[in-house]
Amino acid sequence: MIVDAPAGTRPDTGDDGKEASGEDRCVAAAPFMTDRDTGSGGITAHSYWFNSYRFDRVAAIHASLEAFKTTGKVLSLETTAYLLQQLNQQKPLDNFFLSILYKQLPDALREQLFEPYLSPDGDQLRFAVRVFETGGGLDRDEQLVGIRRQLVQNLEIAPAQLHLTGMLVLYNNMLHSLFCS
């Protein structure tokens, strides 16, 4: 499953589309930043999802996906955030810590911790959701509709932001086409 940043949000604007000010805007580039950063404050300054202000929302999406009875393991940026918080001695993750960590991690480790769950610009989340296929009671179409409904209605994610992908969708579409024919 993929969740995009809301339409109209840009790194230099707030959620309402107006220019960010005060605490919301990074003032100057730190001397340790290099060309890998696209913004003056590192990835946390230009990413919609990868910052301390959005981690609660990512956690809510993750928990919502885990709540389905036919859902198995869910992997996402929340999984990485949980690991990072363990490494940070249970202290909340702040943007400075996240930016430095992301910057200083070796490429191989960054590929394992972030790339499966976050687009390079940080504006798209990816969730890996395993579903119990072999157990009884799985209605794939109902599962997909339920996920969409849960995220749109309860978490107020715009339908255009949400993209259901993967084997569950492909298999459901194949079975639907088979039944229709």
**Cβ within 8 Å of residue 87, ≥6 positions away:** none
pLDDT tens for 44-86 read: 888 899 988 899 999 999 999 999 888 889 999 999 999 989 9
The arithmetic mean of pLDDT across residues 28-37, rounded, is 39
96 inside domain: yes
166 inside domain: yes
User: Measured between alpha carbons, how far is 31 from 51 in angstroms, rounded to an integer?
Assistant: 20
Average per-residue pLDDT for the chain: 80
Is the pLDDT score of 25 beyond 90?
no
135 inside domain: yes
155 inside domain: yes
What is the predicted pLDDT for the residue at 116? 93
110 inside domain: yes
In terms of residue numbers, what domain contains 92?
A: 2-18+28-180
79 inside domain: yes
41 inside domain: yes
The pair of structure tokens assigned to 74 is 């869910």
How many CB atoms lie under 10 A from the CB of residue 92?
9
User: Measured between alpha carbons, how far is 43 from 121 in angstroms, rounded to an integer?
Assistant: 8
Amino acid of residue 155? L
23 inside domain: no
Is the pLDDT score of 38 beyond 50?
no
- Per-residue confidence at 43, pLDDT binned at 50, 70, 90? confident
Tally of domains within the chain: 1
Specify the pTM. Answer: 0.76
What is the predicted pLDDT for the residue at 18? 45
